[in-house]
Amino acid sequence: MTYVVTDNCIKCKYMDCVVVCPVDCFYEGENMLVIHPDECIDCGVCEPECPAEAIFPDTAARLAPWLALNAEYAATWPNITVKRAPPPDAADLDGVPDKRQRYFSPLPGDGD
């Protein structure tokens, strides 16, 4: 089991999650973060910290595509442990449907 970052993180990227993770297992893309499934210790503290409610335990079958995406990009994106300001339009994009199809970027973020 692991926790996974899902679609509503895209273009919200609030980064409250990285502050509380005890094992620093978040990785940064251009417009979202992912969790490394082999490093996450399933503590669950990040889940309620996300203002966009984008983090879930991978126990639901519907999250299989997101588990795959987290695993794939955690392998190449840079580690991130510090919170920066969210995008200026984060609130406007909170809850917008079909974010993966419309906005997902495979490009890496800056990392720490």
Question: Which residues are near ligand SF4 by CB under 6 A?
Answer: 3, 20-21, 23, 25, 35, 40-46
Joined together, the tokens standing for residue 10 give 């895209």
Rounded to a whole number, what is the distance in angstroms from the first to the last CA of the chain?
26
Residue 41 binds which one of ligand F3S, ligand SF4, none, with CB within 5 to 8 A depending on kind?
A: ligand SF4
Number of C-beta neighbours around residue 84 at 10 A: 12
Using the 8-state DSSP alphabet, how is residue 67 labeled?
A: H
Joined together, the tokens standing for residue 97 give 């449907």
Residue 15 binds which one of ligand F3S, ligand SF4, none, with CB within 5 to 8 A depending on kind?
A: ligand F3S
Residue with smaller CB distance to ligand F3S, 16 or 30 = 16
Contact positions with ligand F3S (CB under 6 A) in 2-61: 5, 9, 12-17, 33, 50, 52, 54-55
Residue 45 binds which one of ligand F3S, ligand SF4, none, with CB within 5 to 8 A depending on kind?
A: ligand SF4
Plot region of 24 (φ>0 → left; ψ -120 to 50 → alpha; else → beta): left
Report in angstroms how near the CB of residue 30 gets to ligand SF4 at its nearest: 20
Joined together, the tokens standing for residue 100 give 């993966």
